[in-house]
Structure 1
Amino acid sequence: MTRRELREHCFKMLFSADFYPTQEEAIAQLGQYLQSPEEDDVDESGILQVLHKVELKETDSEYLQARTANIMEKILEIDEKLNQAAAGWKTKRMGKVELTILRLALYEMLYDDAIPEKVSINEAVELAKKFGGNDSPSFVNGILAKFVVKGARAAGDARAAGDARVPEENRACGETQEPQETHASRETPENKESEA
């Protein structure tokens, strides 16, 4: 199964888990998703009923359960970061589709170094196009972009202070890699002439 398919299943599992009153109940229901696989189908009124594909491999099933449970354990922390970044849009006001996509993408950006930030954002936008409304892709992209900008700003602050490492407290803003050199800080012939 591709990463995109796994991410989509993870989204569906997180989305359905959001309807249970306690995290324990939600985690218990994750197995239900995996035990009753069905194809996506269109009902009598022509509305797409999105379920999931048939026959998940055992490794895919284990990955999905672990990944979804890990995200659910971090939801309060992720929601706090989303509330800070989304001015005027607290998580309680967000649509469940957009909120679930943001939680999944932000988890990847903050806790999964194997997935580049821009891939997480792109995949989140694709999920928003598929499952959200007309404005969902731009909303999701705008919120997630704030984490990249904050991370870049934190990296710039660290560099300006003479420290090439990103402070631990700024990693929560999305910065997970060593900061890259900015154009202004590069030594160029023009910079050398202006210094002389």
Structure 2
Amino acid sequence: MSRREIREQIFKMLFRVEFYTQEELPEQIELFKEDLENISPADLLYIENKITKIKEVLDTIDEAVNEAAEKWKTSRMAKVDLTIIRLAVYEMRYDEEIPVSVAINEAVELAKKFGTDESAGFVNGILAKLV
């Protein structure tokens, strides 16, 4: 799998965090893994580890986003946009392997693919304030 495809899978799994309790997440992860076809064990491990790491700092990420987003709070953001922003902020602040510009560009691409017509601009604007 390419990095972009892996990032997309991380986004899809992270999106589920908004809709399930902590107790339900292990089952959701297992269901998610069943849906993935032809994924290498290494890629699957990378996805699982990254999701775990993001969840560990989710409150800190949300605080930063709430500070940067004028007139917007994470509780009011579209769940797709919020999930993309969370993933990008994690990559920008905690993943030294990914350059900030790549994290932002990939987030904008995810927003174009999964969000509304306004999502790419909104995501880019929030992330630009967090650089």
TM-score by length of 2: 0.95
Q: Show the counterpart of 1:64.
A: 47
| Distance in structure 2 (CA, Å) of the matches to 1:139 and 1:26 | 28
Aligned residues: percent identity?
A: 53
Q: Which has the higher helix share?
A: 2
Q: Which residue of 2 aligns with 1:144?
A: 127
Gaps in structure 1 of 5+ consecutive residues: 38-53, 149-196
- Distance in 1 separating the partners of 2:26 and 2:88: 19
Q: What's the RMSD between the two structures over aligned residues?
A: 1.1
Looking at structure 1, the residues matched to 38 and 28 of structure 2 have their Cα atoms a distance apart, in angstroms, of: 18
Q: What per-residue deviation string (whole Å, max 9, x for no partner) do you get for residues 122-145 of structure 1?
A: 000000000000000000000000
Contact 2:64–2:130 (Cα < 8 Å) also in 1 = no
- Residue aligned with 1:61, SS: helix
Instruction: Say which structure, 1 or 2, has more relative contact order (CA 8 Å, 6+ apart).
Output: 2
Which residue is 2:12 aligned to? 12
Q: Provide the residue aligned with 1:29 in structure 2.
A: 28
Given that 1:10 and 1:68 are in contact with CA atoms closer than 8 Å, whether structure 2 keeps it comes out as yes
Q: Give the aligned residue type for 2:71.
A: G
| In 2: Cα distance, 1:111 partner to 1:4 partner | 18
The total of aligned residue pairs comes to 131
Report runs of 4+ in structure 1 exceeding 4 Å deviation.
none
The partner residue of 1:117 within 100, 103, 118 is: 100
**SS of 1:114 mapped into structure 2:** coil
